Chains A and B, each alone.
Chain A
């Protein structure tokens, strides 16, 4: 593992993404709600560009005490990113598939040194 320089934090706006290539690896680096996240850009389904699609809040269906449904709502803070090929939806914070948490994109650590952002890869 080595620190690979990605860019300057001050130039990496919230909501922005970068898709970088390091050797054979393609990595999607997100800045979401202030934090950086980096995942393999190869979807675990059929290999699509997992990090290049829509980001969208997790959809929830809260149930009341009596088990009646309150309908569909967007979660207040949980964000997902979606592979544009087929809609495999991953949790922004963990890289896990939201329907089956065992399916998990390879996650890369991101470190910030001063204004510089590095991915450990």
Chain B
């Protein structure tokens, strides 16, 4: 069974960011801050292979040799210094536009695309997260009876109703996240089976309901 946790472990082979979002302390330690202007290794390698002169990359724009090599690779056979190349340069203007003059120029804000509404940490959310953490830590210690069945029933019922009500209102979000505790397929089948049984539903009825409501 592929768990999101496994995915994380394999993914840590690739350069991991130094962003605060990165949760693993190990990957944090490994992350080397990369100078912004330094060309990517792949690009550098390609330039060294293709460029007529082994020009060293500067801090800002690519060197003319790098530009030519890049365009050649991109276009697969367009000859350097040809009219064809100039046309392509013109088209790819974003990357290869001539260096802008130094003096201060007018900065015009075309669009400001705001950050999405933040995730609200309401008091109720905090309480719910605290209870979830409590249950998780008990599970980790193998303490299965600390949260008694009647409390589990109350939690399951409330969560079921809350999720369904949001869903009905068009607020669709996954019930489990990749970052959460690893829930296995078996866990899901056991829980879903119990929920269906609790309301006297057969699996085929679930299937029928889903096919009717898919619209």
Contacts and interface: CB of A to CB of B under 8 A. Distances in A.
Interface of A: 1-2, 4-7, 13-26, 31-35, 40-44, 47, 50, 52, 60, 62-64, 70-71, 73-79, 93-94, 96, 101-107, 109, 119-121
Nearest to B17: A77
B68 to A, nearest CB: 13
Interface string B167-207: 00000000000110000000000000000000000000000
Nearest to A31: B115
B37 A63 contact: no
A77 B100 contact: no
Interface residues of B, number: 55
B11 A60 contact: yes
Closest 4 CB pairs between A and B?
A: A42-B94, A62-B10, A33-B19, A15-B115
B104 A4 contact: yes
Contact of A102 (B9, B46, B114): B46
A7 B24 CA distance: 33
B70 A102 contact: yes
Interface in B81-104: 91-97, 99-100, 102-104
15 contacts: A1-B102, A13-B115, A18-B109, A19-B111, A19-B113, A20-B109, A34-B19, A62-B6, A73-B178, A75-B14, A76-B11, A76-B16, A76-B179, A96-B43, A120-B60
B208 interface: no
From B42, B74, B112, residue with most partner A Cβ within 10 Å: B112
A30 to B, nearest CB: 9
A2 B108 contact: no
Contacts of B37: 107, 109
Contacts of A14: 115
B2 interface: yes
A60 B7 contact: yes
Contact of A77 (B9, B19, B34): B19
Interface in B50-65: 60-61
B105 interface: yes
B20 interface: yes
Given A15-B116, A70-B6, A2 B43 contact: no
Contacts of A16: 112-115
A24 to B, nearest CB: 7
Contacts of A34: 19-20
A74 B174 CA distance: 14
B30 interface: no
A89 to B, nearest CB: 15
Contacts of B178: 73-74
Contact of A70 (B10, B95, B107): B10
Interface in B1-55: 2, 4, 6-11, 14, 16-17, 19-24, 34, 36-37, 40, 42-43, 46
Given A20-B108, A73-B11, A50 B40 contact: no
Contacts of A25: 97, 100
A21 B11 contact: no
